[in-house]
Amino acid sequence: MPSQIPPALKRRIPKVGDLAPLMQFRKPELGSAARLRRASTIWDLRDQAKRRTPTAPFDYTDGAAEAEITLRRARGAFLDLEFRPGILRNVETVDSSVSVLGQQSSQPFGIAPTGFTRMMQSEGEYAGSQAAEAAGIPYTLSTMGTASIEDVAAAAPNGRNWFQLYLWTDRDRSMELIDRAAKAGNDTLMVTVDTAVAGSRLRDVRNGLTIPPALTAKTVLDASYRPAWWFNFLTHEPLAFASLSRYSGTVADLINSMFDPTLTYEDLDWLRDVWKGNLVVKGIQTVDDAKKAVDHGVDGLVLSNHGGRQLDRAPIPLHLVPDVAAALKGKTTIMLDTGIMSGGDIVAALALGADFTLIGRAYLYGLMAGGRAGVDRTIEILSKETARTMQLLGVNRVEDLNPDHVRLL
């Protein structure tokens, strides 16, 4: 006997009344707030950033050193892992705040120091520090920042501001900055040590990047379809540096003038003597150096290869975490940066043993996509992804994350 077609599967002429509930034409949302809301991931913000920023500043941010192998591997390391969730835990509420260097941070990440930030987008350091202040996370101003220590402190008076130092053997020059950072209320000094000389950032060479950006036929053409960037750039205060007086020249020359190839652990001892707050060393790349830095009295380490912008084929910070944690967990604050593009990346680093993480490009993409509101969006995306990943792992507090939650593939 032929099988019967159930009535629900029989074809019929559609009735107009059936269509009404399906028709949900919304007024298109315009404006930068709507555009930023449409970005669901940091990669989406990067796409917006690329469309809105002239090639030279975008590439300065997005690029890395030499063949950019370090950066690709660092991001790849976060992809080449598997989470191992626990089930049937009550994760209705989740708290991703942590205590870092003696104070609470609402999120397990803060903003890494970045130079030339007002070149990426005119609001630069002000956008970063104010967004961090509003979110309750630390913000780090770079020695090569394009706003002064005092102006950033005034812009985000209730924020937790840290200062990143490029140390010179010229102690008077270093001491002046250290004094200013202390007077402006910075509780943490982060000394970067992976910059004996400047890495070779080939995109900048190819783009002929200079500070300030030069108006050549090529850049004018490039600018013609990014008018907002140029309008902002030309109608705000010219770039000034946190620590240098006005400078003009190529980025590579400026960077080289900031780096001192003669530094040794003795200089770190001097710094430990003169700086009374938290001292953090950024750019640790081996377990031996991690131990040595702690022996020299630092309060924290940043496992970092400078976002792949210095030595190419450098060690990948995520891979260093388990060994550094085995040697030093509880004895110092272990932080990590390089390659973080999602909350899942942050959770993986914490589970493997990091106490805190820093984001560089992730916040700069937000900045270039939409100034202060774009940095807010970066923080919002990463916060939500962090909380959701923790809940799906069956964890509602950061201290309950452990290496069993991650398998490196």
Active centre residues (catalytic): 306
Is residue 108 a contact point for ligand FMN (CB under 6 A)? no
Which pair of structure tokens corresponds to residue 296? Answer: 């020299």
409 and 82 Cβ atoms separated by less than 8 Å:
yes
Q: Nearest distance from residue 309's CB to ligand FMN, in Å?
A: 6
Residue from the set 118, 306, 372, 405 that interacts with ligand FMN by CB under 6 A: 306
Give the number of other Cβ atoms within 10 Å of residue 153's Cβ: 20
Torsional class of 54: left (φ above 0), alpha (ψ -120 to 50), beta (otherwise): beta
| Stretch of residues binding ligand FMN (CB under 6 A), selected from 34-42, 225-233, 334-342, 385-393 | 334-342
Q: Specify the 3-state DSSP secondary structure of 259.
A: coil
Which CB, 33 or 79, lies closer to ligand FMN?
79
Among 304, 332, 378, 389, binds ligand FMN (CB under 6 A): 304
Minimum distance from residue 267 beta carbon to ligand FMN (Å): 16
Are residues 282 and 317 in contact, defined by beta-carbon separation less than 8 angstroms?
Answer: no
Nearest to 129, CA basis, from 104, 106, 143, 112: 112
Residue 171 is encoded by which pair of tokens?
């102690």
Is the CB of residue 189 less than 8 Å from the CB of residue 302? no
Binding mask 225-264 for ligand FMN (x = CB under 6 A): ----------------------------------------
- Rounded CA gap, 196 and 212, in Å? 24
Rounded to a whole number of angstroms, the minimum distance from the CB of residue 74 to ligand FMN is 7
CB of 84 to ligand FMN, least distance (A): 25
Q: Which of 400, 390, 398, 342 is nearest to 83 (CA)?
A: 390
- 105: its two tokens: 């941070």
Main-chain dihedrals φ then ψ at residue 255, nearest 5 degrees = -60, -45
Q: Which is nearer to ligand FMN, 299 or 400 (CB)?
A: 299
CB of 12 to ligand FMN, least distance (A): 56
Instruction: Give the span between the Cα atoms of 97 and 397, in whole angstroms.
Output: 8
Using CB under 6 A as the binding rule, the residues of this chain from 54 to 93 that contact ligand FMN are: 60-61
Beta carbon nearer to ligand FMN, 130 or 146: 146
Binding of ligand FMN by 343 (CB under 6 A): no
Residues 196-225 interacting with ligand FMN (rule: CB under 6 A): none
Q: Amino acid identity of 336? A: L
**CA nearest to 112, candidates 334, 302, 367:** 302
Of 111-119, 348-356, 370-378, 388-396, the window that binds ligand FMN (rule: CB under 6 A) is 111-119
Residue whose CB is less far from ligand FMN, 211 or 395:
211
The site that binds ligand FMN (CB under 6 A) totals a number of residues, namely 24
Classify residue 183 as exposed, middle or buried by CB count within 10 Å of its CB (0-12, 13-18, 19+): exposed
46 near ligand FMN, rule: CB under 6 A: no
Smallest distance from ligand FMN to CB 195, Å: 7
Segment near ligand FMN (CB under 6 A); pick from 100-108, 211-219, 337-345, 383-391: 337-345
Farthest-apart Cα atoms in the chain, separation: 99
359 lines the binding site for ligand FMN (CB under 6 A): yes
Chain residues that interact with ligand FMN, rule: CB under 6 A: 60-61, 112-115, 142, 144, 164, 192, 282, 304, 306-307, 309, 337-340, 359-362, 364
